Amino acid sequence: MHDLARRVEEEYENPSAAAREVFDQFIGALNEGSIRAAEKQGSRWVVNVWVKKGVLLGFKIGKIQRAVSAAPFQFFDKDTYPTRDLPALEKNIRVVPGGSSIRNGAYLGSNVTIMPPAYVNVAAYVDDNTMIDSHALVGSCAQIGKRVHVSAGAQIGGVIEPIGAMPVIIEDEVLVGGNCGVYEGTIVRRGTVLAAGTILTSGTPVYDLVQRRIYRKEGDQPLEIPENAVVVPGSRLLSRDDTFSRGLSLYTPIIVKYRDEKTDAVTQLEKHVR
Ligand SMILES: CC(C)(COP(=O)(O)OP(=O)(O)OC[C@H]1O[C@@H](n2cnc3c(N)ncnc32)[C@H](O)[C@@H]1OP(=O)(O)O)[C@@H](O)C(=O)NCCC(=O)NCCS
C-alpha cells in the first residue's frame, strides 16, 4: 500500500504516461474498500491526504466522454469517473430502480440499500447494513458507518478540497433524519440521532442542554457531536446588543437529551426492508 501511496503522490504532482495505470489501481482499491479517505485510529479520525490526491488525479487526467445512458437522456463526465460496477449479488446490495448513481471509487458494504434517487460520490465509504434513502447525497470522501440510516432528503456534504480537510464522518448506528445537512468535516459520533431538518457545518455552535456545554470547531479540530446525542433544530437570540438586531434569532442545533429507550423505539430500523 505504501508503494501505491507513493506512486499516487508522484503522479498527482506531475502526471506521467503511467498515471492512468496508477489511477486504475488506486480506484480499484477504493472500490474494494481497502483504502479510505479517512480512517479511525483509536478514537481519532485521521485524513489520508494521499487518497484525496488520488481522487484529484482522476479529475486531472480524466477526459470528458459520453457516459452510458438510456435515450433520450444524455450524460457526460470524466472517463475516470463512470458509474461503478457493483458486486451487488455477492454482497446483497440493493440499488432500487429509479435514478440513483454510484460513482467509480465509492465503496458500498454488504446489505447496503440505496433508495432512488440518491447519489454516492467518489471515495465515499458506506459500511454494512446502511440505508441511503431517496433524494439523499453521500458526498465525496464522506465516511458512513454500519447500520446508519441516511433519511430522505438528507445531504452529507463532500469534502475534497482543501486537500488536508477532514471529510464528513457519520459513525455506526447514527440516524440522520429527513432533510438534514451535515457538511465541512463534521464528525457525528456513534449512536447519535439528528432530528429531521438539523444542519451542521463547521461554523455552527451546538448547545448541549444535558452537559451544559457548547460544541464547536476549534482550530483544526472539526465540529464533533458526541455519542448518542439527540440533536434537534433550535434557535437562540442574537447575542449582540443593538436595537437593529433586537428580537432576531439564529438557527442553532440543540442537544436536548441523550438516546434513551423512547428514542430507540422511534428510530428502530425495520429489519424486513433491509
Ligand atoms: C429526534 C426524534 C427521534 C425524537 O426523539 P425522542 O427521543 O423521541 O425525543 P423526545 O420526544 O423525548 O423529545 C425530547 C425533547 O426534544 C424535543 N423534540 C423532539 N423532536 C424534535 C424535533 N424534531 N424538533 C424540535 N424539537 C424536538 C421535544 O419536544 C422534547 O422537548 P421538551 O421536553 O422540551 O418538549 C424525532 O423528533 C425525529 O426527528 N425523528 C426522525 C424522523 C425522520 O427524519 N425520519 C426519517 C424517515 S425517512
CA of 263 to the centre of ligand 1 (A): 8
In this predicted model, what pLDDT tens digit does every residue of 117-161 receive, in sequence order?
Answer: 999 999 999 999 999 999 999 999 999 999 999 999 999 999 888
Query: What average pLDDT does range 96-113 have in this prediction?
Result: 97
Which tens digit of pLDDT belongs to each residue from 20-65? Answer: 999 999 999 999 999 999 999 999 999 999 999 999 999 999 999 9
Q: Looking at residue 163, what is its pLDDT? A: 85
Report the pLDDT value the prediction gives residue 267, as an integer from 0 to 100.
87
Per-residue pLDDT, 263: 95
| Residue 51 backbone phi and psi in degrees, to 5 | -70, -40
Give the model's pLDDT for residue 71: 86
Ligand 1: centre distance to CA 232 (Å): 7
d(CA 2, CA 13): 17
pLDDT value of residue 70: 81
Q: Taking the complete model, does pTM exceed 0.85, yes or no? A: yes
Confidence of residue 201 (pLDDT cuts 50, 70, 90): very high
Q: Is the CB of 86 under 6 A from ligand 1?
A: no
Q: How do the domains of the chain map onto residue ranges?
A: 2-64+81-267
Q: What is the mean pLDDT of the chain?
A: 95
Q: Is the CB of 177 under 6 A from ligand 1?
A: yes
The x, y and z cell numbers of residue 1, run together, are 500500500
Answer whether 231's CB lies under 8 Å from 206's CB: yes
Q: What's 2-64+81-267's CATH class?
A: mainly beta
**Atom 25 (ligand 1): residue with closest C-alpha?**
232
- Is 235's C-beta closer than 6 angstroms to any atom of ligand 1? no
